[in-house]
Amino acid sequence: MTAAPAVEKAEVKPDEEFPGIAAPDTRKGYGGYLVAPEHLVEVVTKLRDEAGYNYLSSATAVDYLEEGKLEMVYHLYRITGGPALVVKAQTPRDKAVLPSLVPLFPGADLQEREAWDLYGIRFTGHPNLKRILLWEGFWGHPMRKDWKEPYFEEETKPFDSRWPGGAVFRSEQHNPFGHNVKYPDGFTLEGWTPEADKALYAGLGTVTDVNAGSLKTDQIVVNLGPQHPSTHGVFRIAATLDGETIVDLEPVMGYLHRNHEQIGERNTFLQNIPFTDRLDYLSSMSNNLGYALAVEKLMNVKPPERAEYIRVIMVEMTRIANHLWAIGFLLNDLGAFFTPALYAIQERELILDVFEATAGSRMMCNYMRFGGVARDLPDGIEARLNELAFERLPRKVDELDAYLTNNEIIRSRCIGVGVLPAEQAIAYSTAGPVLRASGVPYDVRRADPYSIYDRFDWNVAVRYNGDVYDRYLIRLDEIRESIKIVQQALRDLPGGEIQTGKPQYQVRVPAGEAYGRVDNPKGELGFYVISTGKPNPYRYHVRAPSFINLTPFGEMCKGHKVADVVVILGSIDIVLGETDR
């Protein structure tokens, strides 16, 4: 949230309730409250229990190199809607220790592990603090501002070597190993032992004597992935099994960790847009929108009417395409190999055709700009969108519904499997269809409206059982709601400009912080951006829904069979580009 207004609306003022412990953040363009680390747990507990801030959306670290400090930023929301309450805690860089919030919000688990991995903040009281995106034994904490990667050229883009000198080179030519590799000085192969998997297996719990009958079986650890057709990419599940039953399970990720955030801090603001396409690569339009909203908050620009409508149409089309894909591949995971997916992909292809004609690419749309969209709808696309939204998609969704929903096999495999109760769903910070299928009607489009969603007539889809079947149904519901929104947007689509001001390749972004969030098809996608007034963001963090939705995965699977794990994972609907970033 920019500056003060958002915080003023909140009824709680931590600085008045905790004098001397919490103080408003007075840096220019910043908001929220700085809390003394030793009182962090106390303050957050009170905010959660008494003020109702029971949903921890995002927890991330920022490295203030010049001040010698690391800062954790927590965005707390009320699950009933409304703006954020931002709480921050600082710790010295050379001895970075903060209290863990996992006992309060289990949803902070993976996020704190990420902060430890990339920033080296030690969280006291964290039950399982080990690296998450990189491997145990990796040298250094790469998101710290003074850590340089092997292909490091300059602090910020554009690089000087590109123009006007322009002597082309491949980075590997200049690296002694040619492999994007560097080792600590004095490193020798002989004095080193691998520890990557040891830590993982040590953390897996085993339960002895589940039912101490006459037949005793040993518990074994089984790995699914990273190369496994059911894991939707390069995702790994380490599970302790007792026979076929899951005793303990831990998601292992980072196999697609592409350093999105570090590259994002090197890029200029504009250059980040095509990179956001590659986060959740099934719904690039929504990612574009989330990032554009965050930066527009800082820049204080608003897109023209027509651009707003085009944005909504494109984003909702993305949601339809994404949910079709998710349903198709959930069925794949159930064993209905490829036929349902083929039907879903066919409709998705028709939507992608629209994206290709409008944005230029099927998947990597790169369509939104700060204060507008890249180009207007070309001739004939409106007609095609109308045909899709009014005629084809409703018919095809009904067909998919008839094809799958009452299928007895699907019902018996899905109903009652992987149940996530509402209280847990909130505590684990899940978002999107996973949260809404558990009976929590929380949709950012309604709870904290952005763009022009308040103008349309639509309902927040919600289901109450929180099992795999409901997570399947809610995606069908959301497709229907999205079709409704697209129909209204197409009906009301005004003419006019599509961009505020002239398109610029260097945007001026005033100093400050902003947290822009949108309801991505996967859940709440947030971008936390800090600008220092320079052409590049100082901090660029992505609150990835796929990543955080995985926090309760182990809990959801316990007690089920191995075959159910695959289905539960499919029902969460993760995309590894976003999970690992």
| Contact mark string toward other proteins, 110..149, x via CB under 8 A | -----------------------xxx-xxx--x-----xx
Residue 84 CA: distances (Å) to CA of 47, 74, 515, 556:
12, 9, 9, 28
Residues 176-215 within binding reach of other proteins (CB under 8 A): 176-189, 192, 194, 196
User: In the bound complex, what is the minimum distance in angstroms from residue 126's beta carbon to other proteins?
Assistant: 22
Please enumerate, as own/partner, the contacts of 268-272 that have beta carbons within 8 Å and a separation of 24 or more.
Answer: 268/156, 268/157, 268/158, 268/506, 268/507, 268/535, 268/536, 269/295, 269/370, 269/507, 269/509, 269/531, 269/535, 269/536, 269/537, 270/369, 270/370, 270/504, 270/505, 270/506, 270/507, 271/157, 272/537, 272/540
Residues 280-319 vs other proteins: string with x where CB under 8 A? -xx-------------------------------------
Cα–Cα distances (Å) from 377 to 200, 288, 313, 321, 351, in that order, read 50, 17, 11, 19, 14
Closest to other proteins by CB, 22 or 336: 336
- What is the footprint of other proteins within residues 321-360 (CB under 8 A)? 338-339, 341-343, 345-346, 349-350, 353, 356-360
CA dihedral 77, 78, 82, 83 (to 10 degrees): -20
Distance, in Å, from the CA atom of 231 to the CA atom of 3, rounded to the nearest integer, reads 41
Q: Residue 439, interface with other proteins (CB under 8 A)?
A: no
Where is 542: in which H helix or E strand? strand 537-543
161 binds other proteins (CB under 8 A): yes
Please count the other Cβ atoms lying within 10 Å of the Cβ belonging to residue 380: 9
Smallest gap, in angstroms, from Cβ of residue 253 to other proteins? 9
Signed CA dihedral, 533, 534, 539, 542: sign only: positive
We find the least distance from the C-beta atom of residue 411 to other proteins, in angstroms, to be: 7
Give the footprint of other proteins on residues 358-387 (CB under 8 A). Answer: 358-364, 366, 374-375, 378-379, 384, 387
Residues 248-267 that bind other proteins (CB under 8 A): 254-260, 262-263, 266-267
**CB closer to other proteins out of 28 and 159:** 159
- Give the tokens for residue 540: 């660029």
What's the closest the beta carbon of residue 39 comes to other proteins, in angstroms?
Answer: 35
Shortest spacing between CB 395 and other proteins, in angstroms: 11
In one-letter notation, the amino acid at residue 160 is D
- Which of positions 475-534 make contact with other proteins (CB under 8 A)? 503, 505
Residues 526-565 that bind other proteins (CB under 8 A): none
Find the binding residues for other proteins in span 385-424 (CB under 8 A): 387-388, 391-392, 399, 402-411
| C-beta closer to other proteins: residue 181 or 220 | 181
